[in-house]
């Protein structure tokens, strides 16, 4: 490959991006600056505008308002075929009338490259995606995973400045999906190409990305590194969407203390806040205490409602008198056996109590 | 593939009705026509059962062979005209917003309700001198006096293409609707302009139905006789005009039968040739 990881092409900037479809707001004003050479995921539930954002970046959809800049060039008005962007579609959109080599070499042929050069480049790309020697296969003869690889090779053939993937693995079964997530990530790191992947799967986003952009209802909820978004969700939506979480509603006194169901709590950060707050505690951070009426801080009493052993994970649903059951999860090794109906206490360690809304 | 199950008696039962229809309404009449083509014609009367080759011999006169070739030629041209117009038309139709798309489709399909007589007569008037379109050109000051565009070869070709157009659209429509829009978008992200996308992706993918549409128009127009009769001079008449003429005006049903069978065989040969060419080139591609 001619590209090395020191290449800094592919920085993307979105300014006030808005898209309306027949009066329905799909993207509601997005400002975003993405660093070159990184893998960024647009994560959100279906209908949150993430695919529309990607399509506006690719030039397949015209923004109603706002500008798109690629390496400081304003590309908002440039048609898709002049944008120098490679894209893998959700349906993969392979050309059924061409074989594998024909698909991968399509872009080069359109550019009028010589036959020998196309053949050499196609071989190189097929090797890159572990499909060596399969250039003669028809698309219909390939498995789902192989098709995905062909789509990837085709999108990378022209060494684009930006590599976009729209839910590229959604049609594959879980095992293959995880394998290809790792492969795609390694490929991206090897090429150092700026990559944006649209997904609704938070595990996929966590596995692959340098940066996660969490979207909801056409807006950006939070931008951050995967673990940062997971550990310090900026809103109840993010807390609930990225993994499961327990949301505790309480009253902050302004001195660092929060009262939840009449019990005193210490929380991480945001100590000077006053008024109503929501605290997010991940199930694996909560701890079960097989003892009734523990009078410590950060502890709520409750009744075990349901227990399940998933083999790799043990989960306990506890009714603490809140709107929803508190979920406590842990590895079977550190598990204390409890029965349904047992009176217990749940401890929410202060460092795991993240305040998510004012 | 595992071994297929043998079709049960019930499977055959389901097929009984269509097979019966085919036999009663197609095979038997066709058999009668084949038999009639060998019957003896009685001048000034009708015909009587016989077995003679006179009708078939008459067919091989240069005038009828020439008409047969002309029919194939003009109907193939009509097929080309229809596909050239109907394919881009249907493609852009399917890419439109749903409401506009359906409205336009209904307009096109409503042309199916027009009988061939009405279509032929309407074009006869529109292309004529006294009240045809050329009067508009005169009114606009383009011409000094009205012109007749019929009878002519172009008028026949236009008429044939017109009656076949909705059928051609109907053949192309289902598959073009199913063409995944992401496929053309993928071509565009790979640097192909809309024009190149159309030629390098849409047309090759749609090749089988383009050929199907072409053959449909060809076979369909081969059977039309009113258009050529109304809009053409005798040198623009297709074999169908002669068949109709022999059957009704001349009351020579045996010869009309022979010509009809000949025309059927001829169109089958053309369809077969196109089919072979298509599968050859596909294998090469």
**Closest residue to A85, CB basis, from B189, B200, B285:** B189
Q: Do A91 and B189 touch (CB under 8 A)?
A: no
Q: How far is A105 from chain B (nearest CA, A)?
A: 10
A319-348 pLDDT tens trace: 988 888 999 998 877 777 788 888 899 999
pLDDT of B183: 95
Alpha-carbon span B143 to A289, nearest angstrom: 101
Domain count, chain B: 1
pLDDT attached to residue B137: 87
Whether chain B has a CB inside 8 Å of the CB on A79: the answer is yes
**B141-164 pLDDT, tens digit each:** 888 888 888 889 999 999 999 999
**Chain A environment of B192 (Cβ under 8 Å):** 81, 106, 110
Q: What is the mean pLDDT of residues A122-130?
A: 94
Is B34 domain-assigned? no
Phi, psi of A24 (to 5 degrees): -90, 130
* Residue at B254 is within a domain: yes
- The CATH number assigned to the domain with range A244-357 reads 2.40.50.100
Task: Say if B56 falls within a structural domain.
Answer: no
Q: B283 to chain A: which residues are within 8 Å by CB? A: none
Out of B183, B196, B200, whose CB is closest to A93?
A: B183
- If you average pLDDT over residues B171-192, what whole number do you get? 93
User: Could B186 and A89 be called an inter-chain contact, meaning their C-beta atoms sit closer than 8 Å?
Assistant: yes
In this prediction, residues B212-227 reach a mean pLDDT of 92
Residue A170 contacts B, CB cutoff 8 Å: no
How far apart are the CA of A157 and the nearest CA of chain B, in angstroms?
A: 9
**Cβ–Cβ contact A56 with B under 8 A:** no
On chain A, the residues whose CB falls within 8 A of the CB of B189 are 58-60, 80-81, 83, 85-87, 155
The answer to whether residue B206 sits within a structural domain is yes
Question: What is the domain-level CATH number for residue B230?
Answer: 1.10.3720.10
Higher-confidence position of A8 and B110: B110
Distance from CA of A16 to the nearest CA of B (A): 24
Q: Pick the more confident residue, B17 or A337.
A: B17
- At residue A1, the pLDDT reads 41
pLDDT at residue A270, as a whole number: 63
Whether residue A2 has pLDDT greater than 60 = no
Average pLDDT over residues B14-26: 90
Is B192 in contact with A110 (Cβ distance < 8 A)? Answer: yes
Query: Which residue from A minimizes the CA distance to B205?
Result: A97
Which chain B residues are within 8 Å of A110, Cβ to Cβ? 187, 190-192, 196, 200
Domain containing B149: what range? 61-284
Residue showing tokens 């307009």: B107
Q: Does residue A105 contact residue A157 with C-beta atoms inside 8 Å?
A: yes
What mean pLDDT do residues A261-277 have? 79
Question: Quick check: B129 pLDDT over 70?
Answer: yes
CATH architecture for segment(s) A12-236:
3-Layer(aba) Sandwich (3.40)
Q: How far apart are CA B216 and CA B121, in angstroms?
A: 24
**Residue B100 domain flag:** yes
Percentage of chain A beyond pLDDT 90 is 61
Instruction: Assess if residue B193 is contained within a domain.
Output: yes
pLDDT at B222 over 70: yes
State yes or no: pLDDT of A293 exceeds 80. Answer: no
Distance from CA of A330 to the nearest CA of B (A): 44
B211: Cβ–Cβ under 8 A, 6 or more apart, which residues?
B274, B278
- Please state whether the peptide bond connecting residue B151 to the residue before it is cis, i.e. omega within 30 degrees of 0: yes
Helix (H) or strand (E) holding B169: helix B153-178
Which chain B residues are closer than 8 Å to A87 by Cβ?
185-186, 189
This prediction's pTM: 0.81
Residue A224 pLDDT: 94
- Chain B: residue nearest A88 by CA? B186
The verdict on A97 touching B (C-beta cutoff 8 Å) is yes
Min Cα distance A298 → chain B (Å) is 53
Range of lowest pLDDT (A174-183, B185-194, B275-284): B275-284
Q: What is the mean pLDDT of chain A?
A: 89
* Burial class (CB within 10 angstroms; exposed 0-12, middle 13-18, buried 19+) of A315: middle
For residue B76 the two structure tokens come to 């193939």
Note whether A97 contacts B191, CB cutoff 8 Å.
Answer: no
B189/A97 Cβ within 8 A: no
ipTM for the assembly: 0.82
- For chain A, what percent of residues have pLDDT higher than 70? 96
By C-alpha distance, which of A352, A358, A327, A347 is closest to A232?
Answer: A352
Domain ranges of chain A: 12-236, 244-357
What is the spatial distance between Cα A237 and Cα B69, in angstroms, rounded to a whole number? 74
Strands A246-253 and A274-281 turn out to be antiparallel
Evaluate whether residue B278 is within a structural domain: yes
Contacts of A111 in chain B (CB under 8 A): 191
Q: Which of A59, A89, A105 is the mutation pick for testing B, counting most B CBs within 10 A?
A: A89
Q: Is the pLDDT of residue A4 over 50?
A: no
Q: Of the given ranges (A258-272, B88-102, B185-199), which has the lowest mean pLDDT?
A: A258-272
**pLDDT single digits (tens) B67-126:** 888 999 999 999 999 999 999 999 999 988 888 888 998 998 888 888 889 999 999 999
- Same CATH topology for A12-236 and A244-357: the answer is no
Which residues of B fall within a CB distance of 8 Å from A86?
189-190
**What is the structure's pLDDT at B5?**
63
Chain A CA closest to residue B188: A81
Cα Rg of chain B (Å, integer): 23
List pLDDT tens digits, range A184-238: 999 999 999 999 999 999 889 988 999 999 999 999 999 999 989 988 888 889 9
The yes-or-no verdict on residue A5 having pLDDT over 60 is no
Say which residue, A70 or A335, is predicted with more confidence. A70
Give the pLDDT confidence score for residue A305 in this predicted structure: 92
Q: Which residues pair with B3 in a beta bridge?
A: none
Query: Rounded to the nearest 5°, which phi and psi values hold at A161?
Result: -75, -25
Distance from CA of A156 to the nearest CA of B (A): 9
Contact between B180 and A93 using a beta-carbon 8 Å cutoff: yes
Candidates A70, A95, A99, partner chain B, best to mutate (most B CBs within 10 A):
A95
pLDDT of residue A3: 43
Closest chain A C-alpha to B215 CA, distance in angstroms? 21
């Amino acid at each position: 490959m001619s590209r090395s990881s020191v290449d800094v092409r592919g920085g993307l900037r979105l300014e006030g991006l808005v898209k309306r479809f027949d009066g329905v707001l799909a993207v509601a004003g997005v400002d975003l600056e993405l660093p070159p050479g990184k893998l960024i995921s647009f994560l959100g539930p279906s209908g949150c505008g993430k695919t529309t954002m990607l399509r506006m970046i690719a030039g397949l959809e015209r923004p109603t308002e706002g500008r798109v800049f690629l390496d400081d060039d304003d590309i908002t008005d440039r048609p898709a075929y002049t944008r120098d962007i490679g894209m893998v579609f959700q349906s993969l959109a392979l050309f059924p009338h061409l074989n594998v080599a024909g698909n991968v070499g399509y872009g080069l042929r359109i550019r009028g490259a010589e036959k020998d050069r196309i053949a050499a480049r196609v071989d190189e790309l097929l090797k890159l995606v572990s499909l060596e020697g399969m250039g003669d296969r028809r698309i219909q003869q390939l498995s789902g995973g192989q098709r995905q690889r062909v789509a990837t090779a085709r999108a990378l053939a022209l060494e684009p400045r930006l590599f976009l993937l729209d839910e590229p693995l959604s049609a594959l079964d879980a095992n293959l999906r995880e394998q290809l997530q790792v492969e795609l990530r390694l490929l991206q790191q090897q090429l150092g190409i700026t990559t944006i992947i649209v997904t609704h799967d938070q595990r996929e986003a966590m596995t692959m990305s340098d940066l996660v952009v969490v979207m909801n209802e056409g807006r950006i909820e939070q931008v951050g590194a995967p673990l940062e978004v997971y550990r310090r969700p900026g809103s109840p939506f993010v807390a609930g969407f990225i993994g499961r979480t327990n949301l505790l509603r309480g009253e902050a006194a302004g001195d660092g203390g929060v009262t939840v169901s009449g019990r005193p709590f210490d929380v991480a950060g945001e100590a000077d806040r006053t008024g109503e707050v929501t605290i997010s505690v991940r199930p694996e951070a909560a701890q079960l205490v097989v003892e009734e009426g523990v009078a410590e801080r950060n502890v709520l009493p409750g009744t075990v409602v349901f227990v399940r052993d998933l083999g790799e994970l043990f989960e306990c649903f506890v009714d603490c008198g809140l709107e929803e059951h508190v979920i406590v999860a842990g590895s079977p090794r550190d598990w204390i056996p409890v029965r349904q109906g047992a009176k217990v206490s749940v401890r929410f360690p202060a460092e795991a109590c993240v305040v998510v809304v004012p | 593939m595992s071994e297929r199950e043998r079709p049960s008696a019930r499977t055959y039962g389901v097929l009984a009705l269509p097979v019966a229809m085919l036999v009663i309404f197609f095979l038997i009449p066709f058999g009668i026509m084949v038999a009639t083509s060998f019957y003896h014609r009685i001048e000034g009367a009708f015909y009587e059962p016989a077995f003679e080759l006179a009708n078939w011999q008459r067919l091989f006169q240069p005038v009828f062979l020439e008409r047969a070739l002309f029919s194939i030629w003009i109907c193939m041209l009509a097929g080309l005209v229809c596909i050239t117009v109907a394919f881009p038309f249907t493609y852009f139709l399917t890419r439109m917003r749903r409401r506009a798309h359906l409205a336009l489709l209904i307009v096109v399909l409503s042309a199916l309700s027009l009988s061939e007589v009405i279509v032929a007569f309407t074009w006869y008037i529109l292309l004529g001198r006294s009240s045809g379109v050329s009067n508009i050109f005169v009114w606009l000051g383009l011409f000094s006096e009205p012109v007749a565009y019929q009878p002519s070869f172009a008028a026949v070709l236009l008429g044939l293409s017109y009656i076949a157009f909705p059928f051609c659209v109907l053949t192309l429509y289902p598959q073009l609707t199913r063409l995944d829009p992401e496929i053309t978008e993928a071509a565009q992200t790979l640097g192909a302009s809309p024009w190149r996308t159309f030629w390098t992706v849409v047309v090759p993918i749609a090749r089988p139905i383009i050929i199907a549409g072409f053959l449909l128009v060809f076979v369909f127009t081969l059977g039309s006789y009113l258009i050529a009769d109304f809009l053409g001079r005798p040198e623009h008449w297709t074999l169908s005009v002669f068949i109709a003429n022999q059957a009704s005006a001349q009351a020579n049903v045996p010869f009309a039968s022979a010509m009809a069978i000949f025309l059927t065989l001829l169109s089958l040969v053309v369809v077969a040739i196109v089919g072979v060419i298509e599968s050859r080139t596909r294998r090469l591609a």
